[in-house]
Amino acid sequence: MRYLLIISYNGRAYNGWQIQDNARTIQGELNHALEIVLHEKVDTVASGRTDAMVSAYMQTVHFETDKKFNNDKLVHSLNGILDKDIRVLSVAETTVHARYSAKKKTYLYKMYISNIDLPLYTDALRISPNLDFKAMKKFITMLKGTNDFAGFKSSGSEVKDNVRTIYKTQLVRDGMYLYFYITGNGFLYKMVRNIVGTMLKLGEGKLDLNELKRNLFNGYKSNYTAKPEYLYLLNVMYD
């Protein structure tokens, strides 16, 4: 039987989702906890791999087992084993594939607007009040649609198809916070962080909006990658 877990995690102490030798990862910790509870080797598949230090409000993960268990007890047992920066929210029998059945994903990048570092805003990147926020909003609107996002892919990716569909982008001000939301059918390696990096350089006046518009999907290559610890996988949507 296949089961779908919904998990949430603070990724700052981890070297990303994917299991690695000699590195602490979300997948490694989750697999270990499942194997303790189920008394068998378990392979988990996530909706996508989050990078080192990236967090998730809602990540979806499936695994397969013939073992019978009570869903609520499994959640309780797993959370009793996992460190508190990883929580299992629910488990249910499923037919979906966590990765290949996913239709949309939304990422959130958190920023706060201030000239000085503020001690209670450690979950967000400090940005200057002097940025050109109108240009930044125009830029993210240009991202919507189906396009080749090769210019926003970092080296190290083996993916050859760089075409992705972006359904929605938003910049939302809430007090001192500035939230960037992006929803798409999938994302390339470091694509969201490179988009944020480009957006911020544009806001600083270090990039020209008209030139960027001309070259965005035809020759532009982002050399600006935003820090990972302020990026969050917000949710994953299925049919």
Task: Compute the distance between CA of residue 61 and CA of residue 6 in angstroms, rounded to an integer.
Answer: 6
Q: Is the dihedral of CA 164, 149, 162, 97 positive or negative?
A: negative
Average pLDDT, rounded, for the chain: 96
User: What pLDDT digit, counting tens, does each position of 180-220 carry?
Assistant: 999 999 999 999 999 999 999 999 999 999 999 999 998 89
Q: pLDDT band at 9, cuts 50/70/90?
A: very high
- Averaged pLDDT, 118-130: 97
pLDDT band, very low/low/confident/very high, at 158 (cuts 50, 70, 90): confident
pLDDT of residue 97: 97
pLDDT tens per residue across span 205-214: 999 999 999 9
Catalytic choice (43, 51, 83, 85): 51
Residues 6+ apart with CB under 8 A from 178: 110, 111, 112, 113, 127, 171, 172
Quote the pLDDT of residue 160.
83
Helix crossing, 191-203 with 133-142: angle to 10°? 140
33-89, pLDDT tens digit by residue? Answer: 999 999 999 999 999 999 999 999 999 999 999 999 999 999 999 999 999 999 999
Q: Measured between alpha carbons, how far is 153 from 208 in angstroms, rounded to an integer?
A: 20
Q: Write the burial class of residue 81 (CB in 10 Å: 0-12 exposed, 13-18 middle, 19+ buried).
A: middle
Can you point out the beta strands (E) in 120-230? 125-127, 145-148, 163-174, 177-184
Query: Is-catalytic flag, 123?
Result: no
Whole-angstrom distance, CA of residue 107 vs CA of residue 6: 16
